[in-house]
Structure 1
Amino acid sequence: MAARLPALRHRDFRALWIGSACSSISLWTLLLGNAWIVYKLSDSSLWVGVSTFASMSPYLVAPLGGMVADRAERRILVRVTRLATFGVTITLTLLALANVIEVWMVVSLAFVQGIIRSVEIPSDQALLANVVPISDLGNAVALTSTTQHGSRAAGPLLAGPLLATIGVEGAYGISALFALLAFASVRRVSVSSRGGVTRLRDVGENMREGMVYIGRTPEVAAIFILVFAHCSLTMSFDAMLPGFAETRLHSPSGGFTIMTFGVGVGALVGTFVLAMTTGARRGPLLLGTALASGISPMLMAGSHHVPHAAVGAILMGSSQAMFMALSAVLLQEVVPDHIRGRVMSLYLMSAGGVMAFMNLGFGAMADRTGAPILFFLPGAAFVVITLASIATGPYLRRIYRTGTAVAVAPAA
């Protein structure tokens, strides 16, 4: 096992990885609690979409966070952002305990949390590349993706019973606890890491370097485009789940928790399998998971009972998490370190930013059309896009064949 997971041999990586796992559990527990309490207070998928939008919309300015990650000491940035996350979660816990929590409070604090994450994620991703040698980077990225995506299972497992008994304050309390553990773990990281930004005031020039790199590296640009389509069409379903559980599955609390848990279990298993996979096999896996990412929501659309929906959720979680993890591995292996924070923040913007808007739109439409059609049609559209990329995309076709983004272009 140690030979298949070489990144775990490095002390700083283990500390960063454990901290990332705790941070992700905190995040997904928080998002689960937010969706549950907002739907309970408003009885509207639209407001769940607004809450999700508030959490993700700051990712649209993630490139600014990436600039900070390429300027400041990255381990300090991660510590500060995780401590700030604890502040947000403990505030929500206290509001829920005092029984004064309202939708606008949840939405406002979700927005603050999104801003914090837009700095934390690029900093964490850039730091990751400095705690392992390049030979172990692919395994390190895959293991980190395992915890980030697999934590979707831990959230419902820990918070689901509390939502049904104690209430949302239990979920928020769990989120606060893991935020504190995440901070404690990253304090053990000793490696120093900085990027190539010398003056934050030169915003335009700093961002231009990242965008020019992407534009001059067609393999990287192709991955960005495919990720954008993937996140907008297959992963923007969070706002629809509470309403889908109530109106389609007739199981408001249990169905919602089980579906969210299923997505997490699928993601955990899928990304762990990926962590054991190397080399050219990643290419066919990227193509296969892209197709499965579109097909699985189509299957979810046909669910009328909780067991069927759980199976659909597991398939969605495994395929979508593996696809996102593979795309991150491919990028991390070729992006130069001095612009890594900026490029990965643009990646975050293309993924999380579009999901913010699509969740808002799908949440609004689900109240009128129902969720099933919004699972089916976008999923089918992404299947068509993926098939078209085989026929018309030479760079993606090469990645599907070789399992690497190959070229490393100059930064400017």
Structure 2
Amino acid sequence: MCAVPGDFVSSSDSHLQCAPLSGNLFHPILEGIRYIRQTPILNLLIVMVGLHCLLTMAYTSLLPQFIRDDLAADGGIYGTLMMLIGLGAIIGNLSTASISTPRGQGILYLTMAVASGLSLFALGFTYTPVLAFIVGLTVGASQAVFMAINLSFLLQRTSDEYRGRVASVNFILASGAMAFGNFLYGSLSQMIPPKMNMLTTGGSFVILVVLMLIFSPTLRSFYQKPAQPKENQMSSVM
């Protein structure tokens, strides 16, 4: 794999070279996948975005039936709810633009990961359009902020020559997971009520994030303070 800028590369790793591009249409995508697989932190971020899109963002196919059966409302509520979800996404991204420190972004990233699952879980409990509108703002904000920070983390930790390919893999995975989830959940909506689907998928994502925090030191490092260099520690003591 290619070294990420700022990483130390030993002499034993000097034989690792970046693979040249070829004329094959799918070659850049395959190279991006190979690069991600060989880079643990990118692998983790890709898994996170895949699970997020599959479990928390593939709910739009459920909304018409959810509005009709659980909110007892007409089709006009669907458009208003989608508008408020979009408004929440805009407000969420604008309000977080000023957070520039890596630790602050890491804390926000994990907070929004949990909030994405919890907000979808809460949407399943709503029983009036007004409550659904309020929760919809949170759904849109948390999901948009999570996706934006995840992409930022991916690009920051990718070497220059692989940035476009990694971004393409991220886009394909995110779009594919949402499309597959919408198809699956929509197909199952006659057997599994939309409310139960939202409760199950939203709650499952929160549980998975907590488990990954417990077992993944890499994920925990996103919110931990960076280790202080020994020279700085000695100078502060003196």
Q: Aligned residue for 2:34?
A: 212
Kept in 1: contact 2:29–2:169 (CA 8 A): no
Kept in 2: contact 1:283–1:402 (CA 8 A): no
Distance in 2 separating the partners of 1:276 and 1:299: 28
Shift of 1:402: 5.6
* 1:342-391 Cα distance to aligned partner (Å, 9 max, x none): 11111112211111111001111223322100110111111111111111
* 1:39-70 Cα distance to aligned partner (Å, 9 max, x none): xxxxxxxxxxxxxxxxxxxxxxxxxxxxxxxx
Shift of 1:255: 1.3
Q: Aligned residue for 1:246?
A: 68
Considering only aligned residues, what root-mean-square deviation do their CA atoms show, in Å?
Answer: 1.9
Q: Aligned residue for 2:148?
A: 325
Distance in 1 separating the partners of 2:225 and 2:77: 41
Shift of 1:338: 2.1
Q: Aligned residue for 1:236?
A: 58
Q: Aligned residue for 2:93?
A: 271
Q: Aligned residue for 1:314?
A: 137
Distance in 2 separating the partners of 1:242 and 1:299: 17
User: Which amino acid is 1:303 matched to?
Assistant: T
Distance in 2 separating the partners of 1:236 and 1:203: 26
* 1:65-109 Cα distance to aligned partner (Å, 9 max, x none): xxxxxxxxxxxxxxxxxxxxxxxxxxxxxxxxxxxxxxxxxxxxx
Kept in 2: contact 1:249–1:255 (CA 8 A): no
Stretches of structure 2 that go unaligned for 5 or more consecutive residues are 1-18, 227-238
Q: Aligned residue for 1:392?
A: 215
Distance in 1 separating the partners of 2:141 and 2:24: 41
Q: Aligned residue for 2:229?
A: none
Please list, as runs of the form range in 1=range in 2, the aligned pairs for 1:195-210 lying within 5 A after superposition. Answer: 198-201=21-24, 203-204=26-27, 206-210=28-32
Shift of 1:202: 7.2
* 1:119-166 Cα distance to aligned partner (Å, 9 max, x none): xxxxxxxxxxxxxxxxxxxxxxxxxxxxxxxxxxxxxxxxxxxxxxxx
Distance in 2 separating the partners of 1:294 and 1:390: 15
* Equivalent position to 2:108, from 285, 288, 305: 285
User: Which amino acid is 1:334 matched to?
Assistant: R
Q: Aligned residue for 1:33?
A: none
Distance in 1 separating the partners of 2:51 and 2:36: 17
Find out whether 1:370 has 2:189 as its counterpart: no
SS, match of residue 367 in structure 1: coil
From the two aligned structures, give the one with the greater helix fraction: 1
Q: Aligned residue for 2:123?
A: 300
* 1:1-56 Cα distance to aligned partner (Å, 9 max, x none): xxxxxxxxxxxxxxxxxxxxxxxxxxxxxxxxxxxxxxxxxxxxxxxxxxxxxxxx
Distance in 2 separating the partners of 1:350 and 1:211: 11
Shift of 1:252: 2.7
- What number of residue pairs does the alignment pair up? 207
SS, match of residue 277 in structure 1: coil
| Higher deviation after alignment, 231-240 or 214-223 | 214-223
Shift of 1:336: 2.4
TM score, norm. by length of structure 1: 0.48
Distance in 1 separating the partners of 2:139 and 2:78: 15
Distance in 2 separating the partners of 1:238 and 1:341: 29
Please list, as runs of the form range in 1=range in 2, the aligned pairs for 1:91-106 lying within 5 A after superposition. Answer: none
Cα gap change, 1:336 to 1:242, in 2 (>3 Å): same
Cα gap change, 1:282 to 1:225, in 2 (>3 Å): same
TM score, norm. by length of structure 2: 0.81
Distance in 1 separating the partners of 2:137 and 2:25: 45
SS, match of residue 224 in structure 2: helix
Distance in 2 separating the partners of 1:251 and 1:315: 21
Distance in 1 separating the partners of 2:182 and 2:79: 18
Cα gap change, 1:398 to 1:304, in 2 (>3 Å): same
Stretches of structure 1 that go unaligned for 5 or more consecutive residues are 1-195, 404-412
Please list, as runs of the form range in 1=range in 2, the aligned pairs for 1:161-176 lying within 5 A after superposition. Answer: none
Shift of 1:201: 2.5
Identity rate of aligned residues, in percent?
A: 29
* Equivalent position to 1:227, from 21, 24, 49: 49
Q: Which has the higher contact order (CA 8 A, sep 6+)?
A: 2
SS, match of residue 381 in structure 1: helix
Distance in 1 separating the partners of 2:144 and 2:78: 19
Q: Aligned residue for 1:261?
A: 83
Shift of 1:311: 1.2
* 1:181-204 Cα distance to aligned partner (Å, 9 max, x none): xxxxxxxxxxxxxxx964323744
